[in-house]
């Protein structure tokens, strides 16, 4: 069973955030669509009232309330309307944005320019070609038949008002705005978390380096005392190596969060020296084979930090092989620049995890915080301007990590 890690919790949090955001977007879309449908229904009802008023006015007798009916008809100042007979002869029009602006405000149809009359006729016929208007009134909800007398009818065609047309686009505009805000908030949260992680790492690293300083100084003094008392020279040499090693580790931690000083170093030399210490401190069942390019290439780097990278990659390889197998380290150059490849014969990494192995907290081990490869990536890419990635891996066959530096 794989250990539940900090990375798993972070990924779950992202999924929950995206689900909540998606539900919020769906809710807003549904509410907006309902508002648009409600307004469309209200406009339809208004046009039905307008049609009834027109019909009553045409059929009115002497006692009809002309003023009231005319008030109803005049109140429509937003919904585009065309009134036509059965032969597409337009009798009245309202609230259309005509192409020819030279006409005076709301002249009769016959007084319109040829361009405007043609525009309105096409607008009416576009709803059904040459289909008779009485058929359109049955099939098109935007047509209303007004019976004036027996065998005499007019037809009202109306369109959505400008407000309704704008509102029909509103849900999509709102969706775009919400998605933009969600993306901004998401990346802002990610950036804030990373910044917070960086501050924690820097503080922890510098405090670790500070705490190591006192015991290291003490151990150096004890090593000198042992040499002075005639202790076994081989033993004191090994102790001295480990003490100096602790001093190097403390120096590495002190550099986290600071801009390291990059010096010209030769890659074969640095790779070789970084592994000298490891060879005597890993299982004898692990063989480390060096395939160094004949031409030792110069690279600008911080030697203590780069040695830390090589040691981390080597330790990971040993852990992946359960302390038994082969590690091949290759250096060279190609069009990408100077490269170092670390290949093991361990368990391998599934392709889906090629990028996530570098995330903080990702680990398949029972012990550990899952920060080793994260530090490696930070050192290579942020401090040295290089690149590190999983070049290839197959479960049960092993993994190859590749580091690339720009040529100097």
pLDDT, tens digit (0-9, with 9 covering 90-100), for 125-136: 776 656 666 666
**pLDDT band, residue 97 (cuts 50/70/90):** confident
- For residues 205-224, average pLDDT: 76
Picking from 149, 165, 181, the residue at the C-terminal end of a domain is: 165
Does any domain span residue 254? no
- Regarding predicted confidence, which is higher, 290 or 202? 290
**pLDDT band, residue 388 (cuts 50/70/90):** very high
Does any domain span residue 210? no
Distant-in-sequence, close-in-space partners of 188: CB < 8 Å, separation ≥ 6? none
Does any domain span residue 228? no
Q: Are residues 132 and 268 in the same domain?
A: no
Q: Are residues 13 and 159 in the same domain?
A: yes
Q: Are residues 156 and 293 in the same domain?
A: no
Picking from 165, 191, 214, the residue at the C-terminal end of a domain is: 165
Q: Are residues 267 and 159 in the same domain?
A: no
- For residues 92-98, average pLDDT: 78
**pLDDT band, residue 145 (cuts 50/70/90):** confident
Structural domain containing residue 285: 260-405
Q: Are residues 271 and 145 in the same domain?
A: no
Does any domain span residue 122? yes
DSSP 301: E
Q: Are residues 137 and 282 in the same domain?
A: no
Instruction: Report how far residue 70's alpha carbon sits from residue 85's, in angstroms, rounded to the nearest whole number.
Output: 20
DSSP per-residue codes, 194-222: HHHHHHHHHHHHHHHHHHHHHHHHHHHHH
- For residues 242-256, average pLDDT: 75
Q: Are residues 271 and 129 in the same domain?
A: no
CATH number of the domain that residue 398 is part of:
3.30.565.10
Out of 133-142, 193-202, 308-317, which region has the weakest mean confidence (pLDDT)?
133-142
Instruction: Report how far residue 266's alpha carbon sits from residue 333's, in angstroms, rounded to the nearest whole number.
Output: 13
Supply the pLDDT for residue 57. 63
Lookup: tokens for 302: 């911080």
Supply the pLDDT for residue 372. 77
- Regarding predicted confidence, which is higher, 190 or 50? 190
Q: How many domains does the chain have?
A: 2
- For residues 85-105, average pLDDT: 74
Does any domain span residue 54? yes
Out of 12-21, 128-137, 247-256, which region has the weakest mean confidence (pLDDT)?
128-137
Q: What digits encode the pLDDT tens for the residues 63-94?
A: 555 455 456 556 666 778 787 777 777 877 77
Q: What is the mean pLDDT of the chain?
A: 77
Which residues on neighbouring strands pair with residue 338, listed in sequence order? 333, 405
Does any domain span residue 186? no
Please check whether residue 112 is in contact with residue 96, taking contact to mean a CB–CB distance below 8 angstroms.
no
Please check whether residue 258 is in contact with residue 296, taking contact to mean a CB–CB distance below 8 angstroms.
no
Residue 344 has pLDDT above 80, yes or no: yes
Picking from 120, 147, 165, the residue at the C-terminal end of a domain is: 165
Does any domain span residue 218? no
Does any domain span residue 52? yes
Residue 25 has pLDDT above 90, yes or no: no
């Amino acid at each position: 069973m794989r250990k539940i890690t900090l990375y798993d919790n972070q990924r779950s949090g992202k999924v929950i955030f995206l689900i909540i955001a998606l539900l919020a977007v769906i809710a807003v879309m549904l509410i907006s669509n309902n508002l648009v449908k409600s307004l469309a229904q209200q406009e339809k009802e208004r046009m039905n009232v307008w049609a009834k008023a027109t019909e009553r006015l045409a059929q009115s007798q002497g006692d009809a309330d002309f003023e009231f009916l005319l008030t109803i008809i005049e109140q429509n100042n937003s919904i585009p309307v065309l009134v036509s007979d059965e032969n597409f002869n337009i009798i009245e029009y309202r609230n259309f944005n005509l192409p020819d602006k030279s006409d005076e405000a709301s002249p009769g149809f016959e007084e319109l320019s040829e361009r405007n009359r043609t525009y309105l006729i096409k607008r009416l016929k576009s709803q059904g070609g040459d289909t008779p208007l009485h058929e359109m009134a049955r099939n098109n909800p935007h047509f209303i038949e007004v019976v004036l007398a027996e065998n005499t009818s007019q037809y009202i065609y109306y369109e959505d008002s400008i407000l309704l047309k704008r509102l029909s686009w509103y849900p999509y505009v709102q969706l775009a705005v919400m998605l933009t805000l969600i993306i901004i908030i998401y990346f802002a949260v990610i950036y804030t978390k990373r910044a917070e992680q960086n501050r924690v790492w820097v503080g922890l690293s510098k405090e670790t380096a500070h705490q190591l300083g006192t015991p290291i100084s003490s151990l150096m003094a004890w090593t000198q005392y042992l040499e002075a008392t005639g202790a076994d020279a081989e033993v004191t040499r090994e102790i001295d190596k480990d003490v100096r090693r602790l001093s190097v580790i403390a120096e590495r931690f002190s550099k986290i969060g600071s801009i390291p000083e990059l010096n010209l170093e030769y890659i074969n030399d640095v790779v070789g020296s970084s592994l000298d210490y490891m060879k005597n401190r890993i299982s004898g069942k692990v063989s480390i084979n060096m395939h160094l390019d004949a031409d030792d290439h110069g690279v600008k780097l911080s030697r203590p930090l780069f040695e830390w990278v090589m040691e981390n990659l080597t330790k990971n390889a040993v852990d992946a092989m359960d302390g038994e197998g082969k590690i091949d380290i290759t250096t060279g150059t190609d069009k990408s620049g100077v490269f170092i490849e670390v290949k093991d014969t361990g368990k391998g990494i599934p392709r889906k995890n090629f990028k996530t192995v570098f995330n903080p907290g990702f680990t398949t081990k029972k012990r550990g915080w899952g920060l080793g490869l994260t530090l490696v990536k930070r050192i290579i890419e942020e401090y040295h301007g290089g690149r590190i990635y999983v070049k290839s891996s197959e479960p049960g066959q092993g993994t190859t990590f590749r580091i690339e530096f720009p040529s100097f």
